[in-house]
Amino acid sequence: MGMHFCLYVLLQGYIYRLVIEPGTSPNKMKYLTGGIGGRMSRFIVLEGIDGSGKSSVKKALPARLNLNNLVLTEEPTKSWLGDAVRRSHREKVNPFTEAFLFIADRAAHSDQIRDWLSRGNTVISDRYYHSTVAYQGAALEGKVDFDPVPWLLSINRKVSVEPDIVFFFKVDPEIALSRLKDRDELSKFEQIGFLRKVTANYDRLVDLCRNVIVIDAARPFEEVVLDVMSNLYGNI
């Protein structure tokens, strides 16, 4: 394949990808709609273990996308249900209770996401049901006599909106933890052994879920962002 260059152009509410091949005359330049334009609603989810860089990517995307109809959200949410989830992190709550707190928060969040999408917004969420399956699946491992991953996946899908794209930011847990070294205290989820189990569950979700794109998050931040941008315009 020959070398080519891509430019992204915002025009009348739509983003276009301009592909320029060496020697191509201006009248033969190809305009391809990226599909993430101002009049098309899309639901995009960013997933990965803590320290994978997904939250930093979410903060960087608005300036890159330059869309008026972009909604950024996250889980746990900032509602009282999300507060209950965060409280469960600090207290000794059994994994079943914690999983269902996440699901309750997600059910309410999904209603809000449906409303945003119905209004023509593009929604980007930092975490969604995949996090509960990966994290609570790891927490339940060895405590139940069944495989918790497909069980949690089935329950969560019943209350969720299926994303158009899920970006899984994959990074070795040791690298992820090194990025969290400035935190005063690591949570119960931010332990190397536990994060390895979570990563293994995310790997399973790549095969079990639709529209998952794996991003090598061990690379420099700018490379990661450009990879996400390229996949956004190539898949939506």
How is residue 164 annotated by DSSP? S
User: Topology of domain 35-235, per CATH?
Assistant: Rossmann fold (3.40.50)
pLDDT at 16 over 60: no
Encode burial over 89-119: b for 16+ CB neighbours within 10 A, e otherwise.
Answer: eeeeeebeebbebbbbbbeebbeebeebbee
From 155, 132, 75, select the one nearest 108 (Cα to Cα): 75
The mean pLDDT of the chain is 84
Distance of CA 114 to the CA centre of its chain: 17
Residue by residue, DSSP assigns 32-69 as: EE-S--TT---EEEEE--TTSSHHHHHHHHHHHH--TT
Q: How far is the C-alpha of 204 from the C-alpha of 210, rounded, in Å?
A: 12
pLDDT digits (tens, 9 = 90+) for 185-213: 555 666 788 999 999 999 999 999 999 99
Residue 13: both structure tokens together:
């509410």
Q: By percentage, how much of the chain surpasses pLDDT 70?
A: 78
Encode burial over 146-183: b for 16+ CB neighbours within 10 A, e otherwise.
Answer: eebbeebbebbeeebbebbbbbbbbbbbeebbeeeeee
pLDDT at 36 over 70: no
Q: What is the pLDDT confidence band of residue 236, given thresholds at 50, 70 and 90?
A: low
CATH 3.40.50.300, the chain: domain bounds: 35-235
Quote the pTM value.
0.80
pLDDT digits (tens, 9 = 90+) for 123-162: 999 999 999 999 999 999 999 999 999 999 999 999 999 9
